[in-house]
Structure 1
Amino acid sequence: MIVTVTANPSVDRTVEVDALARGTVIRARAAHVDPGGKGVNVSRALAALGHKTRAVLPSGGAEGRQLADLLAADGIELVLVPIRGAVRANVSVVEPDGTVTKLNEPGPYLVPDESAAVAEAVRTAAAQADWVVLAGSLPPGVPEDFYARLAETLRRGGTRVAIDSSGPAFASALTARPHLVKPNREELAEAAGMPVATLGDAVAAAGVLRARGADAVLASLGADGALLVDDGGAVHGEAPVPVPRSTVGAGDALLAGFLAAGGCGARALAEGLAWAAAATGLPGSRMPAPADLDRTAVRLHDTVETGRALRERDPA
């Protein structure tokens, strides 16, 4: 069982356009409404590929009811924590080359008793879990060390913890010594306090995060694949996508596949890459079904090409 925690979930509308031009009327080619939030997406990917998962999230307003209905249709076990405010609604605009422009609302303000209720729900839901994923941004009102305190409690109880967040919430969580962190390139550079322009930079930045408390670092590098840095060293892998449709949720699919395959080592990295590539080939934030996976496309490299420059776009 993999439990996910999404402190700031959303209802996500994805609109596909031929081109995005400011100040004009644009006719969309297609639109999709999906559940949103990093932890939510991890649970969606796991459920779509037949793995047991439980999602913990605050829920309020019409959007909260819509989100719960969407997730229930995906067969995900839900732990809903009632809040006074309404779950946020986000919009992603996707262009034909896969470029995504996102408009994310800040989310509802959670008062202290609501934050405490979410934390208590996590502790209860995590009983006998293989992994707990603490993911995404924190809504207004929730303290920056929310994930850090949860991770400390869970780790003391023997539960493995993965963190996928950003900014102060991510930096604070490192001090709780999580078993795994999953930054993208931008988050990796921010947390390590250094530019990440090459694979060698990414390895060095991952080393900084490990020195600050993380046992292992799984870094999504967009079109350059993903990097795993742990006690065994560094492994880089790629899975080319012939026709990218949307990168929304690809990093979440990477993490879901990695954990589903055991959460450590090259084999888990390869599985995560297959899931991420499949998600990138689907519209909106859809998660792949078994028929969407092409594990033969995954390439793990014998050595990390440290001088290789990373491409500028990092959409994961």
Structure 2
Amino acid sequence: MITTVTLNASIDKAYHMEHEIVGGTVMRVARVANSAGGKGLNVARVARLCGSDVQATGLVGGFNGQYLEALAEADGIRSRFGHIAGETRSCVNILDPMFSSTEFLEPGPTVGVDEFEAYLAEFPSIIAGSDVVTLSGSLPAGVGKDSYQKLVRLALGEGKRVILDSSGEELRLGLEASPTMIKPNQDEIEALLGAMATAQDNVVTQARSLREDGVEQVVISLGKDGALLACEEGCFRAIPPKVKVANTVGCGDSMVAAFAVAFERAMAPREALAYAIAVASAAAMSPNTGEYDPADRDAIMSHVEVRAVG
């Protein structure tokens, strides 16, 4: 089983507009789609679509928290969230013909120290039946920047493989706990290491330096150009075929989900990399975040080029 962690979950509301947005006026929404949101929930939906048994966890509160749990259940995702006093946030994405996508992201509730400590105490039992744990997204107010570090250590202590998908100080501190895998993009790796990551040689060097710090597998996302994986077997670059892109939101989450599935199925690193690129590319072809057509994934995978680099 795969457990996905979303500490700053949200109700994601997609407003589909038939007309261009005009400021200072009343705009009527043509269609609304609500979903259990946050990067970890995106990971959960894609991992389930890949055929894995999935559990979602994290922190939720209030009526929105209850609604989020119901939405996750409607998607076929089992959940075991920690509950807080604050109200789970909502995030609105306005989709209209002129601007395409405009997002309004609420900051979310403040989590009390005692609330997070209670969740940490329960965390080992939450993940007991899991093989892989993923940690994704922003941290809510009130918890320390070392919160992912604490969760990584707890999960590793329970014998789980851990994928950390974060950035900034949360990622830097999380690295000190030596997660099994991290998945920064080029901007995040540059911010983390303070060096440019434009040339392939630079990216390879930086990925290897992170492995030396104790991370078993380092994946650097390169967007439409694929991804690079540094692992014990060497460094590999996967290049996807060109696809018709409909929506790139959540493609990184789709990649995390695919790597979690690959860990669960004990895929070799090169096979796992090709699989993750195929899933992420198929997700980019779908207009809906956290979804893809398995037929697209299978067609893409046969055309993914994986080569040794560095």
What is the CA-CA distance between 1:32 and the residue it aligns to? 3.4
What is the CA-CA distance between 1:134 and the residue it aligns to? 1.5
Q: Per-residue displacement from partner, 1:10-48 (whole Å, max 9, x unpaired)?
A: 122235679988957788786533222121111111112
The within-5 A match list for 1:1-316 is 1-15=1-15, 23=23, 32-93=33-94, 101-240=102-241, 242-262=243-263, 265-297=269-301, 298-304=303-309
What is the CA-CA distance between 1:244 and the residue it aligns to? 1.4
What is the CA-CA distance between 1:95 and the residue it aligns to? 7.5
Distance 1:303-1:17 versus aligned 2 partners, 3 A rule: farther
What is the CA-CA distance between 1:53 and the residue it aligns to? 1.1
Instruction: Please give the alpha-carbon distance, in whole angstroms, between the structure 1 residues aligned to 2:227 and 2:275.
Output: 11
- 1:8–1:139: 8 Å Cα contact kept in structure 2? yes
Paired amino acid for 1:301 = V
With 185-194 and 160-169 compared, the bigger mean Cα shift is at: 185-194
With 76-85 and 148-157 compared, the bigger mean Cα shift is at: 148-157
| SS of equivalent to 2:90 | strand
Distance 1:241-1:122 versus aligned 2 partners, 3 A rule: farther
Instruction: Please give the alpha-carbon distance, in whole angstroms, between the structure 1 residues aligned to 2:83 and 2:122.
Output: 11
Paired amino acid for 1:294 = D
TM-score by length of 1: 0.86
Paired amino acid for 1:220 = S
| SS of equivalent to 2:109 | coil
Structure 2 gap ranges (5+): none
- 1:258–1:264: 8 Å Cα contact kept in structure 2? no
What is the CA-CA distance between 1:54 and the residue it aligns to? 1.0
Look up the match of 1:313. none
With 188-197 and 104-113 compared, the bigger mean Cα shift is at: 188-197
With 85-94 and 131-140 compared, the bigger mean Cα shift is at: 85-94
What is the CA-CA distance between 1:157 and the residue it aligns to? 2.8
Instruction: Please give the alpha-carbon distance, in whole angstroms, between the structure 1 residues aligned to 2:109 and 2:216.
Output: 32
Distance 1:246-1:98 versus aligned 2 partners, 3 A rule: farther
Instruction: Please give the alpha-carbon distance, in whole angstroms, between the structure 1 residues aligned to 2:242 and 2:18.
Output: 20
With 25-34 and 111-120 compared, the bigger mean Cα shift is at: 25-34
Give me the CA root mean square deviation: 2.8
With 262-271 and 249-258 compared, the bigger mean Cα shift is at: 262-271
Q: Per-residue displacement from partner, 1:37-95 (whole Å, max 9, x unpaired)?
A: 12111111111232101111211123222211111011111002111111111233568
Paired amino acid for 2:284 = T
| SS of equivalent to 1:277 | helix
Distance 1:292-1:29 versus aligned 2 partners, 3 A rule: farther
Paired amino acid for 1:299 = V
- 1:40–1:55: 8 Å Cα contact kept in structure 2? yes
Instruction: Please give the alpha-carbon distance, in whole angstroms, between the structure 2 residues aligned to 1:268 and 1:122.
Output: 27
What is the CA-CA distance between 1:97 and the residue it aligns to? 11
Equivalenced residues, count? 305
- 1:34–1:286: 8 Å Cα contact kept in structure 2? no
- 1:279–1:285: 8 Å Cα contact kept in structure 2? yes
Distance 1:211-1:20 versus aligned 2 partners, 3 A rule: farther
Instruction: Please give the alpha-carbon distance, in whole angstroms, between the structure 1 residues aligned to 2:184 and 2:273.
Output: 14
With 281-290 and 63-72 compared, the bigger mean Cα shift is at: 281-290
Structure 1 gap ranges (5+): 307-316
Q: Per-residue displacement from partner, 1:120-163 (whole Å, max 9, x unpaired)?
A: 33211211421111111110001111111121222233221110
Paired amino acid for 2:253 = D
| SS of equivalent to 1:107 | coil
What is the CA-CA distance between 1:112 and the residue it aligns to? 0.9
Instruction: Please give the alpha-carbon distance, in whole angstroms, between the structure 1 residues aligned to 2:96 and 2:230.
Output: 33
TM-score by length of 2: 0.87
Instruction: Please give the alpha-carbon distance, in whole angstroms, between the structure 1 residues aligned to 2:251 and 2:15.
Output: 17
